[in-house]
Structure 1
């Protein structure tokens, strides 16, 4: 398995993996219209072109991906670059094999200029929360979206 920078031409295959990976999340929250499931291939292509998107490739097949978007902050005496982590996905048949960990670590390495990494997940997504905490992410706040979803925001 190799982790590489994604290319715009990878958008369709990454979207396929993304949709397969997020079906369980949609079922967990009882919502088939969560953003990762309704995103278009054009939106994925744009994310690849404008941010840092990594793909995990095994035998020519994309089996996982993660996105990072950089933003600079300047408030008072604090300044820095934050990487917003998004769409960490692993093909269902490859979950539990360390690919999510490898992808997140590779993203951390790809953007050394980031002084912080921010991400969020749903409050019922225990596996995601365990992974993020194991990699040094700490909860910063919770945001209630509606009756069935509270987002847990984390930072590393």
Structure 2
């Protein structure tokens, strides 16, 4: 099934679908933390459009014409800050997230010395995905609402080819 999913840069016309997908995907996180105000849930359509317009790299995964996943990265110096990884709830656990992560790493390859991201410290599935992709927890910190976040980093291994070549 994931072989049928295509990943390409998002266009501004995708903003509405990405926002809808993001809200559906992060609803489980909001319930886990008892916090309906997680930033991916309060982001506006104009903010998503602005992210897509650049300089942030925004990728969309599609199954046919349906946007089923998205991810972003902002390059700052030698670091790619990865964020807003979202997969449609009915496709979670099927490899789409791993493919999106590999694709965003490939889009930043050669421009950065490390990848950084954060996720909820209680989000076992997310932490497992990131661990399988070579990310390691380097710190914990609260978000703006007091939820405990795990801060993760990955240094690409130039001897292994593209970053993210580890199995998903």
TM-score (norm 1): 0.92
Gaps of 5+ in 1: 73-80
Higher strand proportion (structure 1 or 2): 1
Q: Distance in 2 between matches of 1:109 and 1:146?
A: 30
Residue of structure 1 aligned with 2:82, choices 55, 80, 85: 85
Q: Which runs of 4+ in 1 moved over 6 A?
A: none
Query: Are the equivalent residues in 2 in contact too, given 1:3–1:54 (CA < 8 A)?
Result: yes
Match of 1:149? 147
- Summarize the Cα distance change of 1:97–1:152 in structure 2 as closer, same or farther, 3 Å threshold: same
Cα RMSD (Å) of the superposition?
Answer: 1.3
The number of equivalent residue pairs is: 148
Q: Which runs of no fewer than 5 residues in structure 2 stay unpaired? A: 155-168
Write out aligned runs for 1:66-77 (5 A). 66-72=71-77
Partner of residue 121 from structure 1, selected from 119, 122, 137: 119
Equivalent in 109, 118, 136 of residue 138 of structure 1:
136
Against the structure 1 CA distance between its residues 2 and 146, is the aligned structure 2 distance closer, same or farther, given a 3 Å change threshold?
closer
Q: Give the secondary-structure state (helix, strand or coil) at the position aligned to 1:110.
A: helix
- Tell me the residue number matched to 1:29: 33
How many Å separate the matches in 2 of 1:22 and 1:127?
13
Q: Relative to 1, partners in 2 of residues 1:8 and 1:142: Cα closer, same or farther, differing over 3 Å?
A: same
User: Shift in Å at residue 147 of structure 1?
Assistant: 8.8
Map of 1:15 onto structure 2: 19
Q: Confirm whether residue 105 of structure 1 aligns to residue 110 of structure 2.
A: no
CA distance in 1, matches of 2:51, 2:125: 25
CA contact (8 A) 1:29 1:148 kept: no
C-alpha displacement of 1:59: 1.0
Secondary structure of the structure 2 residue equivalent to 1:130? helix
User: How does the TM-score come out when normalised to structure 2?
Assistant: 0.85
Distance in 2 (CA, whole Å) between partners of 1:101 and 1:4 is 15
Please, which of 34, 59, 63 is the counterpart of residue 58 of structure 1?
63
Q: Secondary structure at the match of 2:72?
A: strand
Cα distance 1:88–1:147, how it changes in 2: closer, same or farther (>3 A)?
Answer: closer
